[in-house]
Every structure is written in structure tokens, then in C-alpha cells.
Amino acid sequence: MRRQFKNTVMDLALHEDRIVMILGDVSVYLFKDFQEKYPNRFYNMGISENTLISVGAGLSAMGFYPFVHTIAPFITERSYEQIKLDMCYNRFGGNIVSCGASFDYAWDGATHHAYTDLAILRLLPGMEVIQPGSTRELDILLRSQYNNGNPTYFRLSDHPHHVDVPVEFGRGVALKDTGAAVTVMTAGPLLGNVLEACRDLPVNLVYFHTLKPIDTELIRRFRDTRTVVVHDAFGLKEAVCEVPDLRVVFHGMQDAFCASYGTLHDIRRQLGLDPAGIREFVSGVVQRCGPYHQEGKIFL
């Protein structure tokens, strides 16, 4: 997905001379083409996440479109106040593009895991929060949002799904709408596992790449069903619950650090977010609710 990020930015830069790349000593080699072609708009500012955001806001104040890029937990959690005040409160918007989503850097341990970013950024007024699941989603959403003046968070993953879904900022997608009593909602790259897990289960399936603004109209369509949010981060469940009176259960993160290393797949398995784990959880909900929606048949 990082390569797609670079390709899209290179393409945009052909016709846009207000793009500035600000790297936190990450993806520097990847962006060498940009650096060679636009040396006065490429800056590796080192490991200084607070300043990366403030400088991005300052550039935005002067009419540039900054892309601030480094590792997810550091640019979001460490620089939260800079995002809140310099970008959001001052309305000096810009693009924050992170890598290392959820457990992409599983082997690096809990310091490098990133699963609160989506949830905390959703809380900031004016912030747009995007979790592209595929390279195509990233490409389309970058092009549509990069220069709108708002602070926008793009969360890149090294493990994109390969499902072709309609992509429009702020719009979710009903991938399956069969009148089932249970609706599974997910977001981002985990869609691959969710689709595999639910392929032959009697559930509706709703997918999001934009977590803020969340597509409340789409969620309302399924408000009479039991909603199962399956996600490898915090933030989607909270977004879905913007629609009142939903009956929602969450399958994913727990209130605990993940102390394991290994790979993304190891951690997903540990959390029950591999296809088998998701299937087991969703099947349990389906068993209790029945396959098809009827008044009075939802017990969970």
C-alpha cells in the first residue's frame, strides 16, 4: 500500500505544485523519485513527530498540501495534541499518512502496535479518518481528499485485501444484504478474513473504508438486525454506535496490551480475528439470533 501511496502522490504532483512531502525518517528510499524531481518539496525531518505535524500545519496555513508520513502510533498518539490544536483547532488541515497499521509490525511488540489511532482521531472536530483496505481504495481516496483543506488521516497497511468494492469518501458498502438477522460490519484490510469467514453464513455484510464521517444512513438500514462489529482496532465500533438504539456486539480488541510478537497473522489468530475465529464468533451470534430477521427472535 505504501508503493501505491508513492505512485498516487507522484501522479498528483505532475499537475499540483503545492504538494510537500514531510517524512519522519520512514519511506525515504521509496520516495527518492519524488525527492529527485521536487527537491524543494521533499523533507525528511527525522524522528520528530510533534514537529512533523506542526510544520505540516504551518505549510497548510500558507496554502500548501502537506503529506506527513511516519509510523502510526508515533504520529498519532505521540503527536495527538499537535493534530488537535495545530491542524484541527486552527483549521490548518493536511494529510497524515501512517504505516504500521494495527499489528503490521507485530514482531516489534506493543510499542509499535497501533490500534487506538482511528478511535482517538475520530474524536477531533473536523478530522477525516480513512482506513483504506486495498490499494485501489487508497488511490481513489487520496485523490479525492488530499487538497480539501481538512485534516485527513490515511492509515496504510502492509496487508491489503484484494476485494473490489465501490469507493466513495464517506460511503460504506453493503456487500451482502440478504435480510439476515445478523449484520457483520468491518473496515479496512480485515475484510479479506471477514469475507472468508462469513462466505456461507446467513449474515448481511457491511464494509467501511471511511470511519469519519461514518455512513450513518447505511447503518440505519440494518438497525433492526443484530450488529456484529469485527475489527482489529478501536474506532469502528464507536463510529457505528453513532446511530442510536443499535444492538451491537464487538469482536476484536480487548482492554489489554498485546504482549506477543510474531506476525500479523499470529496476532490475528490470538485475537480470534483469523477466518476461523471470526467464523466461530459470528456463527455463535447467528445461532442465538436465527438466520433471518423476525421481530422477537433476537436474544443476544
Residues that bind other proteins (CB under 8 A): 20, 40-41, 43, 45-46, 48, 50-51, 53-64, 66, 81-82, 85-86, 89-92
Give whichever of 43 and 261 is closer to other proteins, judged by the CB atom: 43
Give whichever of 56 and 188 is closer to other proteins, judged by the CB atom: 56
Euclidean distance between CA atoms 170 and 98, whole angstroms: 19
Give whichever of 81 and 196 is closer to other proteins, judged by the CB atom: 81
Asked if 105 and 262 count as a contact pair (C-beta separation under 8 A), the reply is no
DSSP symbols for the chain: -HHHHHHHHHHHHTT-TTEEEEESSSSTTTTHHHHHH-GGGEEE--S-HHHHHHHHHHHHHTT-EEEEEEEHHIIIIITHHIIIIIIIITT---EEEEES-BTTTGGG-TTT-B-SHHHHHHTSTT-EEE---SHHHHHHHHHHHTTSSS-EEEE--SS---------TT--EEEE-S-BSEEEEEEGGGHHHHHHHHTTSS-EEEEESEEES--HHHHHTTTTSEEEEE-SSSSHHHHHTTSTT-EEEEES--SS-----S-HHHHHHHTT-SHHHHHHHHHHHHHHH-SB--TT----
Euclidean distance between CA atoms 97 and 70, whole angstroms: 7
Q: How far is the CB of 111 from other proteins (least distance, A)?
A: 18
Question: Grid coordinates representing 229?
Answer: 462489529
Q: How far is the CB of 30 from other proteins (least distance, A)?
A: 21
Q: How far is the CB of 84 from other proteins (least distance, A)?
A: 9
Q: How far is the CB of 25 from other proteins (least distance, A)?
A: 12
Give whichever of 124 and 219 is closer to other proteins, judged by the CB atom: 124
Give whichever of 67 and 250 is closer to other proteins, judged by the CB atom: 67
Asked if 121 and 83 count as a contact pair (C-beta separation under 8 A), the reply is yes
Give whichever of 61 and 241 is closer to other proteins, judged by the CB atom: 61
Q: How far is the CB of 64 from other proteins (least distance, A)?
A: 6
Q: How far is the CB of 80 from other proteins (least distance, A)?
A: 11
Cell numbers 436465527 correspond to 290
Q: How far is the CB of 57 from other proteins (least distance, A)?
A: 6
Q: How far is the CB of 15 from other proteins (least distance, A)?
A: 18
CB atoms within 10 A of CB 294: 12
Give whichever of 46 and 262 is closer to other proteins, judged by the CB atom: 46
Give whichever of 36 and 245 is closer to other proteins, judged by the CB atom: 36
